[in-house]
Structure 1
């Protein structure tokens, strides 16, 4: 019996609709010139060096050097412009040749919320291999920092629904988080290491894999130390910066960010307004407003009280008697 047309269509590989690449300054200039030559509409995008909107593809080049291409004609643009005119190196479609380790069974670990004044810190572990990774690459799974919240939630659903994949997340509610972090000698990195180790341990109990990759957040092997206490010495956990280049780590970054977004939505509903992300001037102003509206003691239900910003807004409001925070010592944070 001849194959039905629609059956054959279903077996075709999905076209790639999203692609990310890192370019140097000279390559960025070539890309900008190539897009400008097409007379495409320019767009304003936060943290972007430039952005163009084509008929069926959008191109955004960030100040970090990362370029994101998205749209129905992503493959054509990458092959005919980026690879042909900018880099001169064909890579699209060669992931399994260039990065065979991406497709082997392994765990990816990442976190979200560490630098945000409001909301908890979330750690996520994802275990995947082969077909799952291929489907995620086609769907645009990449570092969560380059994806808007609405798309993050959709990709999180996709990742969790992928057959054979294991997902685990760990976090504390804000009350428990602040009780933990206001203890003497408390360390955010050690707490995060515990979250990562707990999520990884739970994931490995569901599906064992021999190795994993962690997006590095500390010079010290903190997660490995907790794993040793759990009897997981035989698991090989590597860590490096920019580990989200691995699609399974990228998936973990999306899962962690999606969970953080959901938790922030819940806290925002309780507050009565959308809570600001980050820990800059807008978040600080909102913390001051929160104290005026709900009182200083309520701050711990929404914010990380060990942040210097919390001490500053409580002190400025004259409320240290109500919420006796100690002035944090200046710290030199490890930079990725």
Structure 2
């Protein structure tokens, strides 16, 4: 269940767990759990971006900025179903203008990425242009950060959204990604290259007035441009944290990127002969070990990011 009042931004995600699952929680979060005085609560795992509370009733509650991402991850690992109730439709996407960012009602390009925290699958970057005249239509479609939407809903609107908006999508598959990391590229440098390339291509496609190019900030602007000092760089960029909330172009870009990522994951599932989980938790290691037994270690480089710690754990076992 998700409990949220109209206009809220922080949501709680509740699911059932078994006693044997506690070891998985402990291994994944890697922190010493707190044991509170409240006898209804077994323990609490507190991290910077998410808190997991385990109750004696064997209900677990996730709270915090990354709660929904972790909720999706645990649904994959523990096998519980995500229902339509988990779509945070109660978030007030048509809030009063004074509650929106100053650039919300502008015509802008937004750029976002997906797949950077997933062991399996590609890195996808999308840049999308939203003219201010299209904002009401996108609000009616409940467009928001893809992390706040179910994959089912993303897949139901992704194709339509792509047809509505001028956009560019770049996919770095696992073979290319692993080659880049061997050349010394870290994740942020790869993202910088992809965003720069996507933004330049998208800008060329836009034929109407454009106010901003907005990037969901993943490093300081100084470091971003240092990554790109050897290539032709688009420099008139507005860097924003939580940019998906600031302008619908970034939210739309995140949805298009997620839609593309899921499509590629479906292809990799077929290639692997099993369903490859999202994220980088213990459940991912378990599937990786099965995959090595079925296809061999070399196969991992075709479907996974081998610079992740998961790779070392998988081949060690």
TM-score scaled to structure 1, two decimals? 0.66
Largest Rg, 1 or 2: 1
| Paired residues for 1:209-228 under 5 Å | 209-225=210-226, 226=228
Q: Could you tell me how far 1:228 is from its partner in structure 2?
A: 8.8
Task: Give the secondary-structure state (helix, strand or coil) at the position aligned to 1:279.
Answer: coil
Distance (Å, rounded) in 1 between the aligned partners of 2:174 and 2:233: 29
Q: How does 1:33-72 map to 2 (within 5 A)?
A: 44=15, 63-64=63-64
Tell me the C-alpha RMSD between the 2 structures: 3.5
Matched residues in 2 for 1:136 and 1:298: separation?
41
Call closer, same or farther: CA 1:259–1:92 in 2, change over 3 Å: closer
| SS at 1:122 equivalent | strand
Q: Distance in 1 between matches of 2:138 and 2:67?
A: 18
1:44/1:305 Cα in 2 relative to 1: closer, same or farther (>3 Å)? closer
Task: Quote the residue 1:189 is aligned against.
Answer: 188
Shift of 1:203: 0.2
1:93-172 maps to which residues of 2 (within 5 A)? Answer: 93-95=95-97, 98-99=100-101, 101-162=103-164, 165-172=165-172
- Where structure 2 has 5 or more consecutive residues not aligned to the other structure, the ranges are 1-5, 18-49, 54-60, 69-83
Match of 2:9 among 22, 34, 41: 22
Give the 3-state SS of the residue equivalent to 1:142 in structure 2: coil
Partner of 1:324: none
- Number of residue pairs matched? 253
User: Does the residue aligned with 1:22 lie in a helix, a strand or coil?
Assistant: coil
The alignment partner of 1:297 has SS state of: helix
Higher RCO (C-alpha under 8 Å, 6+ residues apart): 2
Q: Assess if the C-alpha contact under 8 Å between 2:289 and 2:315 holds in 1.
A: yes
Q: Residue in 2 aligned with 1:58?
A: none
Aligned-partner SS, 2:113? strand
* Mapped contact 1:21–1:67 kept (Cα < 8 A): no
CA distance in 1, matches of 2:133, 2:142: 14
TM-score (normalised: structure 2): 0.69
8 Å CA contact 2:199–2:234 kept in 1: the answer is no
Cα drift, residue 99 of structure 1: 3.9
Gaps of 5+ in 1: 1-18, 33-41, 51-60, 80-90, 317-336
Could you give the per-residue CA deviations for residues 225-255 of structure 1, whole angstroms, max 9, x where no partner exists?
538942534x2x1222211103211111111
Other-structure match for 1:242 = 242
In the superposition, relative to structure 1, how do residues 45 and 167 fare at CA in structure 2: closer, same or farther (>3 Å)? Answer: farther
CA distance in 2, matches of 1:66, 1:297: 33
Instruction: Give the C-alpha shift of residue 272 in structure 1.
Output: 1.2
Question: How far apart, in 2, do the equivalents of 1:297 and 1:94 lie?
Answer: 54
Query: Partner residue of 2:315?
Result: 314
**Which deviates more from structure 2 when the two are superposed, residues 259-268 or residues 305-314?**
305-314
8 A contact 2:106–2:211 mirrored in 1: no
Structure 1 residue 45, shift from structure 2 partner: 8.8
Residues 229 and 278 (structure 1), Cα distance of their counterparts in 2 relative to 1, 3 Å cut? same
The answer as to whether partners of 1:141 and 1:155 remain within 8 angstroms in 2 is no
User: Secondary structure at 1:103's aligned position in 2?
Assistant: coil
- Deviation for aligned residue 1:136: 0.8
